[in-house]
């Protein structure tokens, strides 16, 4: 069964450093998403991406965040200068069709720890 993959599974970084979280969505999916889940809290939408551009973003997704699809398979989330409060689990998801109109498949997540 196809699945979304994410690397690394755990990333530890110093405050102020840049991190890049990587995701490989399911191959025939067209819509890609990043979510964040602070430990013990709810899943929060960050950004959605379609046709090589951001289609929607939340207030969390400020200028420190960027997304990119550098090639035909990878989808990345970059945090330019990490803050302590960026520590969370970051989930990538993908879907065949737009937004919440269809099942979203989540990857296993990357746990980001900012020291």
Measured from the Cβ of residue 103, the count of other Cβ atoms closer than 10 Å reads: 9
Q: Say if CB 8 and CB 110 are below 8 A apart.
A: yes
Site string for another protein, 38-67 (x = CB under 8 A): ---xxxxx--x------xx-x---------
Residue closer to another protein, measured from CB, 8 or 16? 8
The β-bridge relationship of strands 110-114 and 10-13 is parallel
Site string for another protein, 66-95 (x = CB under 8 A): -------------------------x----
The C-alpha angle 10, 82, 49, rounded to 5 degrees, equals: 75
Report the residue from 68, 98, 113, 115 that binds another protein according to the rule CB under 8 A: 98
Does position 8 interact with another protein (CB under 8 A)? The reply is: no
């Amino acid at each position: 069964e196809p699945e979304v993959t994410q690397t690394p599974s755990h990333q530890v970084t110093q405050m102020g450093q840049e991190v890049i979280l990587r995701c490989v969505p399911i191959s025939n999916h067209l819509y890609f998403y990043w979510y964040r889940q602070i430990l013990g809290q709810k899943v929060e939408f960050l950004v959605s991406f379609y046709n090589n551009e951001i289609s929607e973003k939340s207030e969390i997704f400020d200028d420190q965040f960027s997304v990119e699809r550098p090639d035909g398979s990878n989808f990345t989330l970059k945090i330019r200068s990490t803050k302590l409060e960026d520590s969370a689990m970051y989930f990538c998801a993908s879907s065949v069709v737009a937004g919440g109109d269809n099942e979203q498949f989540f990857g296993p997540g990357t746990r980001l720890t900012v020291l």
